[in-house]
Amino acid sequence: MKLNISLVLETDKEKNALVVVSGLNKLISAGSPILEKYKDGGTKVLLEKSITETNWSDALLTCLTLAQSFGRSWTVSGHVEEELILIGNEFSVVGIKWAQISLIS
């Protein structure tokens, strides 16, 4: 299974965005980022993280644990028997303005 992670960063400079992503990757070990300018200012970052869990319940716990490693006060969305979507805007990594983590069975 894979986690899809979308971020909006405060910076619009690629060099600074890569520093923020590097700090995040120290916590979650995601893949290489795809960066693009965000329409309302800042940088949009797309990351994918493979997880080894094949059981849905274990995958949900892994996703929640990963989310809590860099943020808090996540909003839970989706039909959790088939998908989990987490949206947050309070982070321990400086420079992240908004994030969404998606897990789909």
For 66-103, what is each residue's pLDDT tens digit? Answer: 999 999 999 999 898 999 999 999 999 999 999 999 99
Closest CA to 88 of 52, 63, 105: 63
**Residue 7 in 3-state DSSP?**
strand
For 12-68, what is each residue's pLDDT tens digit? Answer: 999 999 999 999 999 999 989 999 999 999 999 999 999 999 999 999 999 999 999
The structure's pTM equals: 0.93
Domains along the sequence of the chain with CATH: 2-104 (3.30.70)
Closest CA to 7 of 15, 20, 16, 19: 20
